[in-house]
């Protein structure tokens, strides 16, 4: 009897387990079917086909491409404005999801559809501001490692720029949530804050890389050439930006005159590529570890290059957004309407202020402050030489030959001096060269010596060989190609 009861109990337990397993299998199947609506987990055999009738429709796929994007802005919307949740990881998610969604919308013609155009423009807004915000956050995280001087005000202005981005993202995020509801896109739940931790922590990995070694003589010579090239290119870049240097904050009316007529995305993109190449050259060819004093100077110069690059990235994205999405160039009524909607979310005055009064100002600031570092590195590593050349015939060192010599020295940026009767004159200064010319004429000295950067001296020698580009009547003559490229 007892055995029969135990047997019946065992049968009931088995039936209960079977039913539980069946329920589990059903729930599992339903969950897989639910997620497969948004994510294609199941591997399928697909064949290349040009029959678009076999492809999913726009309405079938839009939620797959917009879900992650919209979810981020629900997360931002649900966070309190006093909480700074805008970390590099959050920016990274914003950028990647916006880029993917923008591509999807553009592929299906959203730029030419009244119903979807505004949502498409919001997506583009988020992508460009996200890229700019990411660069700003990178500067804020790394500024203490750049070895830059006099950065207190810069740090404060960085915080103001960060506030502009975060405040704008909250306004744009509200519009994205409203527009996604109007378009009946799936509204996601809340994302936990822990998904977007900050980049910086309280500790660092041990610095145990062995960099203290001796270079061979050949390696040492090559490194000096690399340092000369790096510092020369930085100084050339600084000269090209001298025309943009300013000390007073531009008003909004002045900013609108500057952008895009004088300062625009195209010009900034060209400069950014030059700076990016400079940074890449440093990372590829500069070896640290064999000269501690010069290491610090090189790291400081690298810091200047880095902060300038990231500021140009910020400028480029803000100017692109202004020129493409805000600047009124006349267009269809739908475009004008959306442009006005975007202006209500992204204040054009603040946008240009951050691009120029913050971005351009500090690009010029760090180019200027980096000059002395680059000049020191250059003068420590240039190959020095001296030449003796004839004084310009008939008229001596008057304005024209003095200007040509000064331009050659300025181009190479290394120190060069004109030496006369135990006196030295800066060959980069037209005024000092003319003073030397007066002394030469007074003493009736037919020849003069130049000492300094061997590269500049080679070009000065070539210039002296053609009487400093003057004929016997003091009229200008054509320069050879190699000199024309340097001087002009």
In this prediction, residue 52 carries a pLDDT of 45
> Structure tokens of 445?
């000295």
Strand partners, 417: 426, 451
- The full DSSP string for 261-302 is TTS-HHHHHHHHHHHHHHHHHHHHH---SS-HHHHHHHHHHH
Segments making up each domain of the chain, as ranges: 1-37, 61-187, 219-380, 384-487
220 in helix, strand or coil? helix
In the sheet that holds 423-426, the strands lie side by side as 384-390, 447-453, 416-420, 423-426
The Cα–Cα gap between 304 and 310 comes to: 10
The helix/strand/coil state of 344 is helix
Is domain 384-487 classified as CATH 3.30.1340.10? yes
Q: What is the pLDDT of residue 332?
A: 79
Query: Of residues 47 and 253, which shows the higher confidence score?
Result: 253
The dihedral region occupied by 474, where left means phi > 0, alpha psi between -120 and 50, and beta the remainder, is left
| 111-162 pLDDT per residue, tens | 999 999 999 999 999 999 999 999 999 999 999 999 999 999 999 999 999 9
- The distance in angstroms from the start CA to the end CA of the chain is 113
- E strands of 52-210, at which residues? none
The band of 334, judged by pLDDT with boundaries at 50, 70 and 90, is confident
> pLDDT at residue 14 above 90?
no
The answer to whether residue 193 scores a pLDDT higher than 90 is no
Minimal CA–CA distance to 382: which of 267, 232, 181, 175? Answer: 232
384-487 has the same fold as 219-380: no
Give CA–CA dist 47/60, Å, rounded: 20
Q: Is the CATH number of domain 219-380 1.20.120?
A: yes
Could you say which DSSP state residue 216 is in?
A: P
What distance lies between CA 321 and its chain's CA centroid?
A: 15
Q: What are the pLDDT digits (tens) for 297-330?
A: 999 999 999 999 999 999 999 999 999 999 876 6
Q: Residue 41's pLDDT is what?
A: 44
66 vs 205 pLDDT, higher one: 66
Phi, psi of 472 (to 5 degrees): -65, -15
Helix axis angle for 430-443 and 399-412, nearest 10°, is 130
| Dihedrals phi, psi of 45, to nearest 5 degrees | -80, 115
**Average pLDDT estimate for 416-444:** 94
Both tokens of residue 69?
A: 């994007």
Close Cβ partners of 247 (under 8 Å, ≥ 6 residues apart): none
């Amino acid at each position: 009897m007892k055995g029969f009861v135990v047997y019946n109990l065992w049968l009931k337990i088995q039936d209960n387990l079977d039913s539980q397993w069946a329920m589990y299998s059903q729930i599992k199947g339903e969950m897989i079917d639910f997620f497969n609506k948004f994510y294609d987990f199941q591997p399928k055999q697909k064949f290349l086909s040009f029959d678009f009738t076999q492809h999913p429709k726009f309405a079938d796929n839009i939620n797959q491409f917009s879900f992650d994007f919209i979810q981020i802005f629900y997360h931002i919307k649900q966070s309190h404005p006093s909480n700074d949740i805008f970390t590099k990881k959050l920016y990274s998610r914003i950028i990647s999801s916006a880029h993917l969604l923008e591509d999807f919308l553009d592929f299906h013609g959203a730029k030419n559809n009244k119903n979807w155009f505004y949502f498409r423009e919001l997506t583009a807004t988020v992508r460009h501001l996200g890229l700019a915000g990411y660069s700003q956050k990178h500067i804020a995280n790394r500024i203490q490692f750049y070895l830059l001087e006099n950065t207190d005000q810069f740090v404060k202005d960085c915080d103001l720029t960060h506030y502009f981005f975060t405040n704008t993202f909250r306004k744009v995020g509200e519009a994205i949530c409203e527009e996604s509801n109007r378009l009946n896109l799936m509204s996601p739940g809340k994302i936990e804050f822990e998904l977007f931790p900050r980049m910086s922590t309280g500790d660092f990995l041990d610095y145990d890389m062995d960099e203290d070694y001796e270079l061979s003589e050949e390696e040492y010579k090559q490194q000096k050439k690399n340092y000369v090239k790096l510092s020369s290119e930085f100084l050339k870049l600084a000269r090209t930006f001298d025309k943009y240097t300013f000390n007073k904050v531009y008003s909004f009316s002045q900013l609108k005159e500057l952008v895009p007529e004088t300062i625009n995305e195209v010009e900034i993109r060209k400069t950014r590529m030059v700076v990016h190449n400079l940074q890449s050259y440093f990372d590829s060819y500069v070896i640290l570890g064999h000269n501690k004093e010069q290491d610090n100077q090189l790291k400081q110069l690298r810091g200047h290059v880095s902060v300038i690059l990231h500021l140009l990235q910020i400028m480029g994205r803000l100017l692109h957004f202004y020129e493409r999405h805000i600047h009124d160039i006349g267009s269809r009524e739908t475009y004008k309407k959306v442009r006005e909607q975007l202006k209500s979310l992204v204040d054009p005055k603040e946008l240009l202020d951050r691009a120029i009064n913050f971005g351009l100002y500090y690009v010029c600031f760090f180019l200027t402050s980096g000059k002395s570092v680059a000049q020191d590195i250059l003068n420590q590593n240039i190959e020095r030489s001296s030449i003796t050349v004839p004084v310009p015939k008939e008229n001596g060192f008057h304005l024209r030959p003095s200007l040509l010599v000064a331009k050659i020295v300025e181009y190479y940026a290394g120190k060069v001096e004109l030496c006369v009767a135990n006196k030295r004159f800066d060959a980069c200064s037209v005024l000092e060269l003319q003073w030397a010319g007066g002394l030469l004429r007074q003493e009736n000295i037919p020849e003069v010596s130049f000492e300094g950067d061997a590269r500049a001296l080679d070009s000065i020698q070539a210039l002296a060989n053609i009487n400093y580009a003057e004929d016997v009547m003091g009229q200008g003559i054509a320069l050879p190609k190699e000199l024309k490229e340097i001087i002009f």
